[in-house]
Amino acid sequence: MATNSPRYDLHSHTTASDGELTPVALIDRAIKNQINVLAITDHDSISGLDEARYYITKNHFALQLINGVEISTAWNDHDIHIIGLNIDVNNLDLFNLLARQKMSRIERAEQISLKLAQLGITHAYQHAKSYAKGDVVSRAHLARYLVEIGAVSDISKAFKQYLGKGKKAYVTPKWCEIKVAVKIIHLAGGQAVLAHPMRYNLTTAKLRRLLNEFKEAGGDAIEISQSRQTHFERHSLEKYALEYGFLGSQGSDFHGLDSYLDLGQLVPFSERIEPIWQHWPSQCVSIKGK
Ligand code: AMP
Ligand code: MN
Ligand code: MN
Ligand code: MN
């Protein structure tokens, strides 16, 4: 990417959901990695945004923060993630939706905890809740507990053996529908982005149905550029964006430093696709300091 074009990362997590960095530490990372425009998109939560924005303002960082959220939705037995960008964080419909989603998260975590207790692993909910620094309890927090007590050797095994779909302690989540998420993102003045379309392990026919339904619901964009993608994935996403008339978005889905990807680390954005930020007012064209 040319040195004078702004660097966008429009998908990232903090301790407000299952990210490992606090909002402040995430902003430091964004500055270090010379990102110009960053969206914080916590799962079903906007509670990391205030702290991040305050920190940027206080330090006069030349970093534009986009108010974001990643809403979990239920679609034909799949968890589909819809990102809202440039949302009004004071919107009441959005507040109510996120409150319902967080409640569903608590109920699901309690049910998972019951299943784990039946398998001899006790107090999982209480521990997961204590790992959750924000208002969102995630399976990622339950996974951390399973690793902590040595029930599994790593996070990925926690999902493979206990928490993943159909596994021993799986509980079907009660998320909102895609069309509800899109509608509420729009009511809050934002744009709706289908997150990581190739990560749902859908057949091509099913992925096309998802893209159709997202389009019918009024979806604006799909993520076409992520941290690690095969040539086939990139090519397919470009093709779908053009075919269905979606704008393109990009984001690392950064969760923490010990993951294999870094904030702002992205494959190049295709010049054939109109970027979601095309008509955004630009506040930052260069980055100050390191
Ligand atoms: P939840 O939104 O509570 O269902 O939790 C899902 C989160 O757990 C995702 O956002 C990922 O960050 C993480 N996750 C899901 N599957 C895996 C996996 N197989 N290995 C590691 N982390 C995972
Ligand atoms: Mn996550
Ligand atoms: Mn996601
Ligand atoms: Mn994400």
Single pTM value for the model: 0.96
| Nearest atom (ligand 1) to Cα of 163 | 16
pLDDT at residue 259, as a whole number: 74
* pLDDT attached to residue 288: 44
Closest ligand 1 atom to the C-alpha of 44?
2
Atom 8, ligand 1: residue with shortest CA distance: 140
Helix 23-32 / helix 49-59 crossing angle, nearest 10 deg:
50
CA of 104 to the centre of ligand 2 (A): 16
Name the 3-class secondary structure at 4: coil
pLDDT tens digit at each of 290 positions of the chain: 445 688 999 999 999 999 999 999 999 999 999 999 999 999 999 999 999 999 999 999 999 999 999 999 999 999 999 999 999 999 999 999 999 999 999 999 999 999 999 999 999 999 999 999 989 999 999 999 999 999 999 999 999 999 999 999 999 999 999 999 999 999 999 999 999 999 999 999 999 999 999 999 999 999 999 998 999 999 999 999 999 999 999 999 999 987 789 999 999 999 999 999 999 987 644 444 43
Q: Ligand 3 center to residue 125 CA distance, Å?
A: 22
Strand-by-strand arrangement of the 221-225 sheet: 8-9, 37-40, 64-75, 78-85, 191-194, 221-225, 247-250
